[in-house]
Amino acid sequence: MKKRLPAVAGYFYPATSRELLNMLSQFIKEVPNKVPLWGCIVPHAGYIYSGKVAGAVYSLMEVPDVAIIIGPNHNGLGYPSAIYSEGIWTTPLGDVEIDSVLSQKILQESDYLKEDALAHQPEHSLEVQVPFLQYINPNIKIVPITVVDYSYEVLKNLGYAISQAVRDYEYNTVIIASSDFSHYEPHEIAKQKDLYAIESILNLDEKEFIKRVIEKDISICGVGPIVITMIAVKLLGSKRAKLVEYQTSGNVTRDFDQVVGYAGIIFPK
């Protein structure tokens, strides 16, 4: 069976299960009323920087059976729209099974997606989400997708394919867009730009989101995954979005000159 080993354990997050569980327990809180979600947006930096924002989303999330995780391909390796459709991903918390049934459904619906493990080997944007998911559901299954082609035609097709596959699926499935927001801007400028882009996400207007990102030259690495997720959740019936948490790395490091922005956003059912 195909197996992906961790690429960033000991770098983005602790490499031992004990340390990792301890860190996750600080970020994921007991929330009495969990929220059923179509999807969400979470950051993917090192846990010490963005773990609090990601944890705020995972704390609220009604525990899913399956998570479709869509992230940017930072390395440019492999196919532009790549799915890892079968096998196992390993983290310090153990093995996670790929949901091959749902993967095949998405592949069948999409004109652009291809099976390609190479695109996933060094990529951190999906990997860092997996321990959070294991923490809330040790039996979670995942469908990992990376995207580097951000043309609207491709993003729309992938959003449609995912929505079609999820609509017919018998298991509770959440769609996760893995993205950081502004990169290496002063804190106040990053926050201003990011909240301007986030406003269009909260209005469920993916074309306005793209327009605002271009207009203000906002260095959001996961524009594609966010757009795909917005299209998919709207097709599934989502009528609203909510900003759960926004911070920058400056909130952690106290260096406000060059920050990265992190947003946690949910699309409730």
Going by DSSP bridges, is the β-strand pair 94-98/88-91 parallel, antiparallel, or unpaired?
A: antiparallel
- Per-residue pLDDT tens over the stretch 117-159: 888 988 999 999 999 999 999 999 999 999 998 899 999 999 9
| pLDDT the model gives residue 78 | 87
Average pLDDT along the chain:
96
Structure token digits, residue 51: 């773990």
pTM of the full predicted structure?
Answer: 0.97
CB atoms within 10 A of CB 261: 31
| pLDDT the model gives residue 38 | 98
**Is 83 in contact with 112 (CB distance < 8 Å)?**
no
| pLDDT the model gives residue 234 | 98
Return d(Cα 59, Cα 56) in angstroms, integer.
5
Structure token digits, residue 190: 């990053």
Domains of the chain, start order: 3-268 (3.40.830.10)
| pLDDT the model gives residue 193 | 97
Of 70, 76, 75, 77, whose CA–CA distance to 222 is shortest?
70
Max Cα–Cα distance, the chain, nearest Å: 48
| pLDDT the model gives residue 208 | 98
**Is 42 in contact with 57 (CB distance < 8 Å)?**
yes
| pLDDT the model gives residue 149 | 82
Low-confidence ranges of the chain (pLDDT < 50): none
**Single-letter code of the amino acid located at 3:** K
Q: What is the DSSP-derived secondary structure letter of residue 221?
A: T
% of the chain exceeding 90 in pLDDT: 94
Which class for 88: exposed (0-12), middle (13-18), buried (19 or more C-beta within 10 A)? middle
Return d(Cα 64, Cα 213) in angstroms, integer.
31
- Per-residue pLDDT tens over the stretch 171-194: 999 999 999 999 999 999 999 999
